[in-house]
Structure 1
Amino acid sequence: MDIVKLVDCVDFSAKKHRNQRRKNAAETPYINHPVGVARILAKEAGVSDLATLQTTVFDLVSLQAAILHDTVEDTDTTFEEIEKQFGKEVRDIVDDVTDDKSLPKMERKRRQIEHAPHCCPKAKLVKLADKLYNLRDLDQEIPQGWTKERAQEYFQWASQVVQGLRGTNKEMEASLDELFAKHGVVVET
């Protein structure tokens, strides 16, 4: 039944994000992002199928949270709705990675840096995968309306968030470090 739970999350997230697009030139459907974040967790954090999830550092709940991670932040979804449909643990992880959009952008960014070390382990995994997905996108193409300077600032800021997540998953951290090096971001050790 784990596969049904995972597909239910994809369906829920796809419906919630149905009218949203990424800011790339192709304006790809937004759902590609949360599915891509879950794919990074499944493929790059060492899990290749649902049968092995129970013996790894993360589980189905982490994949569900990855797929749902932007629903409260970017749609009309509530935490209560997440909990009712997918359980308290999924809700708590989504809560741990959700920005408060009522705050100014710079305050949200500052809070992400401060909060990162205090996230639960599964939220740290989702956060790492989210940053990796976004930075890979940014490495390939600067979003519409962004300057090269803004993209570089995002890399700098993301490295500060990732610093607070270190020790969570060496594979994702190594991939992030490669991207930081490629963009001249000095990573603290």
Structure 2
Amino acid sequence: MSMDKEVVIAALRYAAELHDGTYRPDRARTPFVSHLSETAELVAQAGGTPAEIAAAWLHDAVEDGLTNVTDLAQRFGQEVADLVAAVSDAPEDVGKAIAERKAIQAARLAAAPEGAKRIKLAEQISILQALAVERPLSWSVERADAYVQGSRLVAEACAAASPLLAERYAAALAGATH
């Protein structure tokens, strides 16, 4: 097995371990790892590098407080850790209103590496596709609307990194705003 495949499989395993017992906020209690899988698959389809695919598996781990960038750098290398850091909200931003949080994300991502843009765009697609099916139980209609609108800012900041993902985002957006 190539070193490239090994880093992706190791990231998948670590992400599954970190997020074990966590679920999407839906009635079916879908394991949260399904969101990570969708995100990683989209990054792979967009021609993402092995480091980008590994980071896609791990993209929520730091933001969710399950690990830190130093741990990821030691386990998967600096490139993977830097990509996760680039798509993670700062702890002081996590509690902010969705509209403000998305504006901060968009500003940060505008200057981020292309790989980080692909990961964030893939993540937005996964979330909007889930929203099209069912609003999370804990979200008000207003919060869901604010998320969808805020995701547009993030997508604009990231779209040039992948025409394929930009197209998929547009389709997911249309589905979420029916």
TM-score, with length taken from structure 1? 0.84
| Preserved CA contact (<8 Å) 2:39 2:57 | yes
2:63 equivalent to 1:73: yes
Unaligned runs of 5+ in 2: none
Q: Percent identity?
A: 29
Map 1:48-87; keep pairs closer than 5 Å.
58-87=48-77
More helix by share: 2
2:172 equivalent to 1:179: yes
1:157: how far off?
Answer: 0.6
Larger Rg: 1
- 2:69 maps to amino acid: F
Partner of 1:136: 129
Structure 1 residues 159 and 93, CA gap change in structure 2 (3 angstroms): same
**Whole-angstrom CA distance in 2 between matches of 1:173 and 1:110:** 18
Q: What is the SS of the residue equivalent to 1:166? A: helix
**What are the Cα deviations for residues 102-149 of structure 1, in whole angstroms up to 9, with x where unaligned?**
333235333112112111110001011001111111111111022333
**What are the Cα deviations for residues 71-120 of structure 1, in whole angstroms up to 9, with x where unaligned?**
11113301110000000000110000001233332353331121121111
Partner of 1:8: 10
CA RMSD in angstroms, aligned pairs only? 1.7
- 1:32 maps to amino acid: S
| Preserved CA contact (<8 Å) 2:103 2:154 | no
**What are the Cα deviations for residues 15-58 of structure 1, in whole angstroms up to 9, with x where unaligned?**
11112111011111111111110011223x1x5xxxxxxxxxx3
**Whole-angstrom CA distance in 1 between matches of 2:56 and 2:64:** 14
Map 1:157-176; keep pairs closer than 5 Å.
157-176=150-169
TM-score, with length taken from structure 2? 0.89
**Whole-angstrom CA distance in 1 between matches of 2:138 and 2:124:** 20
| Preserved CA contact (<8 Å) 1:100 1:108 | no
Q: What is the SS of the residue equivalent to 1:25? A: coil
Map 1:33-112; keep pairs closer than 5 Å.
33-43=35-45, 45=46, 47=47, 58-103=48-93, 104-106=95-97, 107-112=100-105
1:159: how far off?
Answer: 0.4
Count of paired positions: 173
After alignment, is 59-68 or 165-174 more displaced?
Answer: 165-174
